[in-house]
Amino acid sequence: MRGIFAGIAVVATAGCAQPKQLSVDGAWVRLAAVQGRPAAAYFTIHGGPADATLINVTTDVAIRAEMHESMASGGVTSMKPIPRVAIPANTDVVFAPGGRHVMLYNMNPGITPGGRLITLTLSFADGTRILQNATVVGAGDTGTK
């Protein structure tokens, strides 16, 4: 009898699990190969129970940050600024090399690969802000271990 009640308790608590929340992980920043050129930030946004819209990403170690998207057309790769990114509910949106990314202009020259983590602030249209630490890698590094 005790085993039956234990099984019921497990099923009951599983139904009470909190819904998945909007979150960010896997953040990293690749420094530029040439001093004075922009760095790039990458991360994954995990959509929560409702649609969201990312409207800005900032960091206190760069003067300016812009969301961009790379695209290829006719054998030519280009990139353009994007003002916002839709984050559908319960969907992952990846910022990665060759796709969406955040350009970080005029980075603090004291930021070095393997040094301290930097903090990215992701701002959403509904007023939500997520602070996410990012590792720093050198030019050409992939950010993955």
The pLDDT tens digits along the chain (145 residues) read 555 544 444 444 455 566 689 999 999 999 998 888 999 999 999 999 999 999 999 999 999 999 999 988 888 888 999 999 999 999 999 999 999 999 999 999 999 998 889 999 999 999 999 999 999 999 877 765 4
Q: According to the model, what pLDDT value does residue 140 have?
A: 76
Q: Does residue 4 fall inside a structural domain?
A: no
Query: At 6, phi and psi to the nearest 5?
Result: -65, -40
Domain that holds residue 34: 20-137
Q: Does residue 6 fall inside a structural domain?
A: no
Q: Does residue 7 fall inside a structural domain?
A: no
Q: According to the model, what pLDDT value does residue 10 have?
A: 47
Q: Does residue 12 fall inside a structural domain?
A: no
CB atoms within 10 A of CB 84: 12
Q: Does residue 142 fall inside a structural domain?
A: no
Q: Domain count of the chain?
A: 1
Q: Does residue 145 fall inside a structural domain?
A: no
Q: Does residue 5 fall inside a structural domain?
A: no
Q: What is the CATH number of the domain that holds 133?
A: 2.60.40.1890
